Amino acid sequence: MPHMTPLSTSTPARPTLDSAAIGLLNALGCFTLWGSFPIYFKLLQHVPALEVLAYRVVGSAVLLLALILAWGQWPTLRSAFRQRRRLGFYLLTALLISGNWLLYIWAVQNGRILEASLGYYINPLVNVLLGMIFLGERLNPRQGIAVLIAATGVLALVIGYGVFPWISLTLAFSFGSYGLLRKKAGRAATLGLCIETLLIAPMALLFLATQGGGTLGQVDGYTDALLLAAGLVTVIPLLMFLQATQRLRLSTVGLIQYLTPTLQFLLAVMVYREPFTRIHLTAFGCIWLALALYTLDAWFGRHRS
């Protein structure tokens, strides 16, 4: 999955109509692509999730490095690799995002798209909770009610099925923790992800080497093309996301981001026919209500300020 929490705050105060239109198209494009990820990973269902992750990491590292060089940011990248403490920080964020990617790929391949979509619905509320714990941010009464309603939805799944929704919560908290750490780092999204993938790429290459290249060249050309496209699938929506955050208000991007889990939800229920019971309806209903309260509070709060 992707960086759904905006990491760049360089949005113009009054964007022109053309700039806003370009930003809106990019926002719709990136969140639609991220929402369509289940289709891509379902097509690679016959390839082990760890192998798909390895090709995604290597492909992303190559493309992002090429972009960094093309943009003349090589000195900044080289400087980052000379700072051991910073590299240790990026190794931690790299492990968080790669673990998030791996779990998401596995969930899609094993018919758990509904649980994955729930995780990304919960994510904005997890961000609020993490901000309160680690950044000293205070919840106003409306935000507190939203978090409690979301917790009620999770509790409904636990009581209804007797199973802890570990996929949803792991995806939400791993991505939320990743966003929190990256926010504190203050680096541009593309540069930071380039550093992260470059740090993980040697491990990915070693894994592929021990597997003799894995599935590549062993099944058919269609599978090979999908594996080799893993980098493009990752980088293209990220670049569109950056264009959107530069041209739109972050509150607008925050609203549009719900398109991603909504598309995943619709794919799970309507295309891949995953079970959607009354218990699911109760849980998702609580999450949707919580998000509506949180979003309205954020929207009106921004306008009041």
pLDDT at 194 over 90: yes
**In the predicted model, what is the mean pLDDT of the chain?**
87
Task: Note the pLDDT of residue 251.
Answer: 67
pLDDT above 50 for 43:
yes
Residue 5: its pLDDT value, please?
Answer: 45
Structure confidence at residue 304 (pLDDT): 62
Query: In the numeric block, which tokens belong to residue 263?
Result: 């598309």
pLDDT of residue 136: 80
10 confidence band (pLDDT: 50, 70, 90): very low
Mean per-residue pLDDT for 192-199?
92
Q: Which pLDDT score, from 0 to 100, does residue 16 have?
A: 54
Please write the tens of the pLDDT for every residue from 96-137: 999 999 999 999 999 999 999 999 998 888 888 888 888 787
Of the pLDDT bands very low, low, confident and very high (cuts 50, 70, 90), residue 248 is confident
Residue 7's pLDDT is what?
39
83-87, 184-188, 197-201: least confidently modelled range: 184-188
Kindly report whether the global pTM for this prediction surpasses the value 0.85. yes
Rounded CA Rg of the chain:
19
- 299 has pLDDT over 70: yes
pLDDT digits (tens, 9 = 90+) for 73-93: 999 999 989 988 888 899 999
Greater confidence (134 vs 261) lies with 261
pLDDT of residue 9: 41
- Domain residue ranges in the chain: 17-304
pLDDT for the residue 302: 62
The confidence score (pLDDT) of residue 12 equals 47
Residue of 222, 119, 243, 219 whose CA lies nearest to 169: 119
234-243 pLDDT, tens per residue? 999 988 988 8
Q: Is the pLDDT of residue 219 over 90?
A: no
The top-scoring range by mean pLDDT among 88-92, 185-189, 264-268 is 264-268
pLDDT band at 161 (very low <50, low <70, confident <90, very high): confident
Is pLDDT of 8 > 50? Answer: no
CB burial class (10 A; 0-12, 13-18, 19+) of residue 257?
A: buried
pLDDT value for 253:
79
**CB contact set of 115 (below 8 Å; sequence gap of 6+):** 107, 165, 167, 168
Residues 26-39, mean pLDDT to the nearest whole number: 94
- Reported for 75-81, long-range contacts at CB under 8 A and 24+ positions apart, including other chains, are 76/191, 77/191, 77/194, 77/195, 80/187, 80/191, 80/195, 81/195
Task: Quote the tokens at residue 250.
Answer: 């972050």
